């Protein structure tokens, strides 16, 4: 989940590296560092600067003049070893010649550390990455080129990695390798870039080469050549990024999370463009690579995702059951492959990931495919690992999402599930009239999100009150339960307040014992066939001294069941959960702001979880 950036060309490398790391900081912000090569300095042919904390702490630690036109940088999310300067990347070999940055996990690092120690190598960090630097240096000392040394070192490694390696005696190049962690090469005019993510290099180039697992590449200012472990050359062609620098700026907002919440009306409308088929009352999803006759053969749908994507997957499974009338359920991708799942040819497997690089979800894709199943993806990042490996899918087209806590992309996931459910429904038993009804509901969503956002101030006031509580419940029933789960997730990950989601009907089976004036509840109460039961549950909370913030529809008579009321516009009952989720985003955001927390960079978390 770390961020990697590299540069080789005519510019001074350090400013390019720092800028790239700043763009990548959502991938990790425990520590950061750079290594720069300067062949003109015989005393200091290479310099490494590292700092615990944010990229700004690294920038403050850099000397005024850090000369050198080749370099690598890293921003870290700790796996092995606590966040500290000595555990920060880049890591350097015992002879000072090799510098390495790494994203991933080396599973056999303990064995490698033991062997290196027996050989007399003194390791200075607690990380798994440091062993790579020593292994490469050992191969170089045996007379290998940097390319061959990296390949030989990688041959001793078990695990996942995206690597960028410098050799102080070969200052004209950066050698990279990929297995299970994202890595790309940026193609410039007389200069080249390396990065975990296009955001790091978009200001410099729009042409990138996406590396595959098993790829190596030697990168110089004039270009690159890629190859595999078997020494075969690979022909990796550059593609054009659909990304601009402006999309990565705050644009007048105080935080990226706030910006991304407010981008949703426009981004959802963009996502729906060209995907609604009025003539047949269905959705146009050519990217699924499944004809209607193939879709009709599926008797069940299994949704796989991690974290918030899993909760949205539960919401999506509910939509599929409602509209297609076939069994559907969701489970965490992180658990799926470890239970030796039974893969059925009559089941359509759907994986969900904003980044398309979520390791647990990617491994679930491979498990399904290894056993002969059909798997499609709902992915935001074009060209990502999951997008390239699934059998088909739906691109979310949410645009870049920088805040660690996902909002915009999750709404797009919900829309993606609605389109999939509509498509499946129309090849099963959903009538043309109901298809048209869902299409009308989808078209209304962008304007209805804008309507919710227009009432932000009242939501902010409710959030400020909730922020004073040490703990709270989010409750919902059936379609409202995934909304409650996502609301609790968003609240706790950026406010650090304990928030727990419960099915409303389960409160009386134990959790009601916790209700007190100090523990408020956020209740999802849509105007559906369970509205009376939801109101009764809220009244049970109120009768025991608990306060209730109700997210509901206009016209619902709550009586004295709620202390505060938040209204969202009505849509079709199957689509209502999409809109009911929007207020929970703002509640979490404004509570975190009231508490003075770093909204975009919550502690211990990273945006893209590319390790197990």
Average pLDDT over residues 196-202: 91
Check whether residue 266 and residue 213 sit in a common domain. no
d(CA 407, CA 349): 24
Check whether residue 488 and residue 395 sit in a common domain. no
Query: What confidence score (pLDDT) does residue 598 get?
Result: 93
d(CA 211, CA 575): 38
Check whether residue 187 and residue 277 sit in a common domain. no
Taking the mean position of all CA atoms in its chain, how far away is CA 237? Answer: 26
Residues 446-488: pLDDT tens digits? 999 999 999 999 999 999 999 999 999 999 999 999 999 999 9
Let me know if 306 is a catalytic residue: no
Which residues 6+ apart lie within 8 Å of 583 measured at CB? Answer: 452, 459, 551, 566, 568
When mean pLDDT is compared across 8-17, 135-144, 540-549, 600-609, the lowest value belongs to: 600-609
Query: What confidence score (pLDDT) does residue 528 get?
Result: 94
State the CB neighbour count (10 A cutoff) for residue 292: 12
Which member of 259, 302, 492, 607 is catalytic? 607
- List the structure tokens of 515: 């209700």
Q: Domain boundary residue among 398, 422, 454?
A: 454
Share of the chain above pLDDT 70, in %: 98
Query: What confidence score (pLDDT) does residue 437 get?
Result: 98
- Domain span at residue 231 reads 3-246
Query: What confidence score (pLDDT) does residue 403 get?
Result: 93
Whether the pLDDT of residue 232 is over 70: the answer is: no
Average pLDDT over residues 129-156: 96
Check whether residue 254 and residue 290 sit in a common domain. yes
d(CA 504, CA 494): 24
Q: Is the peptide bond before 90 cis (omega within 30 degrees of 0)?
A: yes
Band of the pLDDT at 382, cuts 50, 70, 90?
confident
Whether the pLDDT of residue 370 is over 80: the answer is: yes
d(CA 452, CA 264): 11
Residue of higher predicted confidence among 243 and 87 = 87
Check whether residue 311 and residue 460 sit in a common domain. no
Q: In 455-552, where do the E strands start and end? A: 471-476, 498-503, 521-525, 548-552
**497 contacts 469 by C-beta, under 8 angstroms:** yes
Check whether residue 519 and residue 400 sit in a common domain. no
Residue spans of alpha helices (H) in 496-572? 531-543
Please give the span between the terminal C-alpha atoms of the chain, in angstroms, as a whole number. Answer: 10
Check whether residue 412 and residue 472 sit in a common domain. no
d(CA 55, CA 379): 28
Q: In 199-315, where do the E strands start and end? A: 207-210, 216-220, 223-227, 233-234, 239-240, 276-277, 282-283, 300-305
Residue of higher predicted confidence among 609 and 577 = 577
Check whether residue 228 and residue 356 sit in a common domain. no
Check whether residue 340 and residue 489 sit in a common domain. no
Which member of 2, 259, 408, 492 is catalytic? 2
Which stretch, 47-51, 247-251, 336-340, has highest mean pLDDT? 47-51
The CATH number given to whatever domain includes residue 546 is: 3.40.50.10490
Query: What confidence score (pLDDT) does residue 231 get?
Result: 64
Residues constituting the chain? 612
- Bridging pattern class, strands 521-525 and 548-552: parallel
CA distances from 364 to 139, 329, 343, 359 (A): 35, 15, 11, 9
Residue of higher predicted confidence among 601 and 244 = 601
Check whether residue 280 and residue 138 sit in a common domain. no
Which residues 6+ apart lie within 8 Å of 261 measured at CB? Answer: 407, 408, 453, 582, 585, 586, 589
CA angle in degrees (0–180, nearest 5) for 66-71-73: 95
Check whether residue 424 and residue 503 sit in a common domain. no
Whether the pLDDT of residue 609 is over 80: the answer is: no
pTM of the predicted model, to two decimals? Answer: 0.88
Average pLDDT over residues 103-122: 93
Residues 477-532: pLDDT tens digits? 999 999 999 999 999 999 999 999 999 999 889 989 999 999 999 999 999 999 99
Residues 543-600: pLDDT tens digits? 999 999 999 999 999 999 999 999 999 999 999 999 999 999 999 999 999 999 999 9
Q: Domain boundary residue among 406, 433, 454?
A: 454
Let me know if 607 is a catalytic residue: yes
Average pLDDT over residues 177-187: 93
Q: How many structural domains does the chain have?
A: 3
The CATH number given to whatever domain includes residue 23 is: 3.60.20.10
Whether the pLDDT of residue 29 is over 90: the answer is: no
Average pLDDT over residues 156-161: 93
**483 contacts 580 by C-beta, under 8 angstroms:** yes
Query: What confidence score (pLDDT) does residue 109 get?
Result: 92
Residues 290-333: pLDDT tens digits? 999 999 999 999 999 999 999 999 999 999 999 999 999 999 99
Q: DSSP secondary-structure letter at 74?
A: E
Check whether residue 204 and residue 269 sit in a common domain. no
Q: DSSP secondary-structure letter at 519?
A: B
Band of the pLDDT at 100, cuts 50, 70, 90?
very high
Q: Domain boundary residue among 246, 268, 289?
A: 246
Q: Taking all residues of the chain, what is their mean pLDDT, rounded to a whole number?
A: 93
Query: What confidence score (pLDDT) does residue 1 get?
Result: 67
């Amino acid at each position: 989940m770390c961020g990697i950036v590299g540069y080789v060309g005519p510019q001074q490398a350090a400013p390019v590296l720092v800028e790239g790391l700043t763009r990548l900081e959502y991938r990790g912000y425990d520590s950061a560092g750079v290594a720069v090569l300067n062949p003109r300095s015989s005393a200091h042919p290479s310099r490494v600067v590292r700092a615990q904390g944010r990229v700004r702490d690294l920038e403050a630690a850099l000397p005024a003049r850090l000369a050198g036109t080749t370099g690598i940088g890293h921003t870290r999310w700790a796996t092995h070893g606590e966040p500290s300067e000595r555990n920060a990347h880049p890591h350097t070999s015992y002879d000072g010649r090799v510098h390495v940055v790494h994203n991933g996990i080396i599973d056999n690092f303990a064995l490698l550390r033991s062997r290196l120690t027996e050989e007399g190598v003194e390791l200075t960090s607690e990380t798994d990455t440091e062993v790579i630097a020593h292994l490469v240096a050992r191969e170089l000392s045996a007379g290998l080129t940097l390319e061959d040394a990296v390949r030989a070192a990688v041959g001793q490694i078990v695990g996942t990695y995206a690597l960028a390696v410098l050799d102080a005696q070969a200052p004209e190049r950066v050698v990279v390798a990929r297995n299970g962690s994202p890595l790309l090469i940026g193609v410039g005019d007389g200069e080249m870039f390396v990065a975990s993510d296009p955001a790091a290099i978009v200001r410099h180039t729009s042409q990138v080469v996406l590396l595959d697992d098993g790829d190596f590449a030697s990168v110089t200012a004039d270009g690159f050549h890629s190859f595999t472990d078997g020494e075969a050359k690979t022909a990796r062609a550059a593609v054009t990024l659909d990304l601009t620098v402006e999309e990565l700026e705050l644009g007048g907002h105080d935080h990226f999370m706030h910006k991304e919440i407010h981008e949703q009306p426009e981004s959802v409308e963009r996502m729906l463009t060209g995907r609604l088929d009025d003539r047949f009352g269905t959705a146009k999803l050519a990217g699924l690579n499944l004809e209607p006759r193939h879709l009709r053969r599926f008797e069940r749908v299994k949704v796989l995702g991690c974290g918030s994507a899993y909760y949205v997957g539960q919401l999506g499974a509910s939509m599929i059951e409602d509209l297609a009338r076939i069994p559907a359920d969701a489970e965490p991708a992180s658990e799926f492959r470890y239970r030796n799942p039974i893969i059925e040819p009559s089941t359509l497997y759907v994986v969900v990931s904003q980044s398309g690089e979520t390791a647990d979800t990617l491994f679930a894709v491979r498990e399904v495919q290894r056993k002969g199943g059909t798997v499609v993806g709902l992915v935001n990042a074009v060209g990502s690992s999951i997008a390239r490996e699934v059998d088909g899918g739906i691109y979310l087209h949410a645009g870049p999402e920088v805040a660690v806590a996902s909002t915009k992309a999750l709404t797009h996931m919900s829309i993606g599930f609605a389109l999939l459910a509509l498509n499946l429904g129309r090849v099963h038993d959903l009538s043309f009239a109901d298809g048209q009804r869902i299409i009308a509901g989808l078209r209304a969503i962008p304007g209805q999100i804008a309507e919710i956002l227009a009432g932000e101030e009242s939501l902010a006031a409710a959030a400020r009150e909730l922020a004073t509580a040490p703990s709270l419940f989010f409750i919902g029933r059936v379609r409202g339960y995934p909304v409650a789960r996502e609301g609790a997730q968003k609240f706790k990950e950026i406010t650090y307040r304990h928030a727990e989601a419960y099915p409303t009907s389960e409160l009386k089976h134990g959790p009601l014992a916790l209700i007190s004036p100090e523990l408020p509840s956020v209740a999802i109460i849509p105007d559906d066939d369970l509205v009376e039961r939801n109101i009764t549950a809220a009244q049970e909370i109120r009768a025991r001294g608990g306060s209730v913030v109700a997210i509901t529809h206009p016209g619902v008579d709550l009586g004295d069941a709620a202390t505060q009321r938040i209204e969202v516009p009505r849509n079709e009952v199957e689509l209502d959960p999409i809109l009911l989720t929007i207020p929970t985003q703002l509640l979490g955001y404004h509570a975190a702001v009231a508490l003075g927390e770093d909204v975009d960079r919550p502690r211990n978390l990273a945006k893209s979880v590319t390790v197990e």
